[in-house]
C-alpha cells in the first residue's frame, strides 16, 4: 500500500521533533507550577521558558503572553470585551471569532474590532487597518481596540505583535508544529480583560487553572523551531511548491478558479473552485486515493453548513460549495505535490465526463 500524503497543514501541522522531545521531558516534571517548593519551581521554570520562546517568535514581551487551551479559548476574550462595549467581527473571520458575531452591535461605533490576519481557508492575508485619531476604521464604524487572529500566520510569515498595532492577538501551538490543546492570547501592556476562566488566579489572574506544563513546553519548542525556519527561508520553498501545484492544475483544468491568487496569501495555501463539483466529494475521492486535503477550515468539516467565508468574499453559492483546500508544509516534497496533481486531474476529468 502506497504511503499517504498529508496536505492539510492548515488544519494541523505534524508535531515537530523538538516539540515532541520537550513534551516528553516536561511530563517528568512532578511539581505544580504554583507550588513554591523546588519541584514547583522547576515546573514553573518550564512554563516561563516556553513563554519566552513564544514571545520571541512574535516580538512580544513574555509578560504579554497568556497561555490558554487554544486559540478558540483565547478568542473568548471577545465575550469579556462585549461586557464593556460593542464588538464587531469581520465577516471572513474564523469561526472562533465569528461565534461572537451575535455580540456585534449596529451603530455609529464599536469598542473592539476582531478580524483574521490570514484566512485559514483561502490563505488570503488581510492587513489590519491603521488606527486613526477616532479609532480603527471598519466601514462606517470605528473601534477603539483591535484583536487579530494570527493563528495561521505565525511561524509562516514574519509577524510582530508590537508592530501590528493590535491590542490583542490569538494563536495556537498545533498550527506551527506544537501539540494540540494549547494556545495563547497576546495582550498589549495596559489592556485589561476579565479572566478568561475564573479560579485560582494563574496566568496573573487572566486565565485560571493549573497550567498544561507539557503542552506549553511543546508550544515553546515549536515556536523556537518555527522562528529558525522563518529565518532560513523555508517557507519560500513551500510557496514555490504551491505555485507548481497551481500551475500544473490550471494548465489542464481550465474552468478551475484559484481563490486569492492575485493577492497576498500564506505561502502554503491553495484554495481552488471547480463549479459544480462538491468540495466534500473531492475530499472523499482524494482521501481514497491516499491524499489528506480539506474543503475548508477543519473546524467546519463534517458539518452541514454554508460556505460562509467564500460567500462573504463574493463567490456564488454553487462555487462556494465546490472548493478544495490544499495546504503544504516544509516536509512536503515536489514528488508528493505532483502525485496529488496527477490524482486530482484524473478525478477532474471523470467529473467533466459525468457533467457533460
**Residues catalogued as catalytic:** 299
Phi-psi category of residue 302: left, alpha or beta, with phi > 0 → left and psi -120 to 50 → alpha: left
The C-alpha cell at 311 is 460567500
SS3 242: helix
For residue 216, give the DSSP letter.
H
CA–CA separation, 191 vs 120, rounded Å?
27
Do 263 and 119 meet the contact criterion of CB atoms below 8 Å apart? no
3-state helix, strand and coil shares in percent for the chain, rounded to the nearest 5: 40, 20, 40
Query: What is the number of residues in the chain?
Result: 356
Rg (CA), the chain: 21
For residue 124, give the DSSP letter.
B
SS3 325: strand
Per DSSP, the residues of 165-214 read: --SEEEEEGGGGTS-SS-EEEEE-TT-----SS-SS-TGGGTS-S---HH
CA–CA separation, 152 vs 286, rounded Å?
24
Chain-centroid distance of CA 21 in Å reads 23
CA–CA separation, 136 vs 81, rounded Å?
16
Beta partners for 130?
A: none
Chain-centroid distance of CA 347 in Å reads 29
CB environment 292-316: b (16+ within 10 A), e (fewer): bbbbbbeebeeeeeebbbbbebebe
Amino acid at each position: 500500500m502506497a504511503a499517504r500524503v498529508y496536505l492539510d497543514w492548515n488544519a494541523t501541522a505534524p508535531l515537530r521533533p523538538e516539540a515532541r522531545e520537550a513534551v516528553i521531558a516536561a511530563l517528568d516534571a512532578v511539581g505544580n507550577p504554583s507550588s513554591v517548593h523546588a519541584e514547583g519551581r522547576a515546573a514553573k521554570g518550564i512554563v516561563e521558558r516556553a513563554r519566552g520562546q513564544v514571545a520571541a517568535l512574535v516580538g512580544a514581551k513574555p509578560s504579554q503572553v497568556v497561555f490558554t487551551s487554544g486559540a478558540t479559548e483565547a478568542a473568548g476574550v471577545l465575550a469579556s470585551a462585549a461586557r464593556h462595549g460593542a464588538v464587531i467581527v469581520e465577516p471572513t473571520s474564523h469561526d472562533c471569532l465569528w461565534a461572537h458575531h451575535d455580540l456585534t452591535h449596529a451603530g455609529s461605533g464599536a469598542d473592539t474590532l476582531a478580524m483574521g490576519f490570514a484566512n485559514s481557508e483561502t490563505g488570503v492575508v488581510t492587513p489590519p487597518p491603521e488606527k486613526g485619531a477616532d479609532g480603527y476604521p471598519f466601514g462606517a464604524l470605528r473601534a477603539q481596540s483591535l484583536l487579530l487572529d494570527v493563528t495561521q500566520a505565525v511561524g509562516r510569515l514574519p509577524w510582530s505583535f508590537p508592530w501590528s498595532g493590535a491590542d490583542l492577538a490569538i494563536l495556537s501551538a498545533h498550527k506551527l508544529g506544537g501539540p494540540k490543546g494549547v494556545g495563547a492570547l497576546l495582550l498589549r501592556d495596559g489592556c485589561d480583560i476579565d479572566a478568561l476562566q475564573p479560579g485560582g488566579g494563574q496566568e496573573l489572574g487572566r486565565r485560571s487553572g493549573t497550567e498544561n506544563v507539557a503542552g506549553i513546553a511543546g508550544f515553546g519548542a515549536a515556536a523556537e523551531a518555527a522562528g529558525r525556519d522563518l529565518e532560513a527561508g523555508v517557507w519560500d520553498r513551500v510557496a514555490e511548491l504551491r505555485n507548481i501545484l497551481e500551475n500544473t492544475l490550471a494548465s489542464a483544468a481550465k474552468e478551475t478558479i484559484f481563490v486569492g491568487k492575485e493577492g497576498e496569501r500564506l505561502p502554503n495555501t491553495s484554495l481552488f473552485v471547480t463549479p459544480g463539483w462538491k468540495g466534500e466529494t473531492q475530499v472523499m475521492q482524494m482521501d481514497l486515493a491516499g491524499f489528506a486535503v480539506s474543503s475548508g477550515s477543519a473546524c467546519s468539516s463534517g458539518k452541514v453548513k454554508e460556505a460562509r467565508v467564500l460567500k462573504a468574499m463574493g463567490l456564488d453559492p454553487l462555487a462556494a460549495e465546490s472548493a478544495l483546500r490544499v495546504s503544504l508544509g516544509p516536509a512536503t516534497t515536489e514528488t508528493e505535490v505532483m502525485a496529488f496533481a496527477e490524482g486530482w486531474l484524473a478525478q477532474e476529468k471523470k467529473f467533466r465526463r459525468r457533467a457533460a
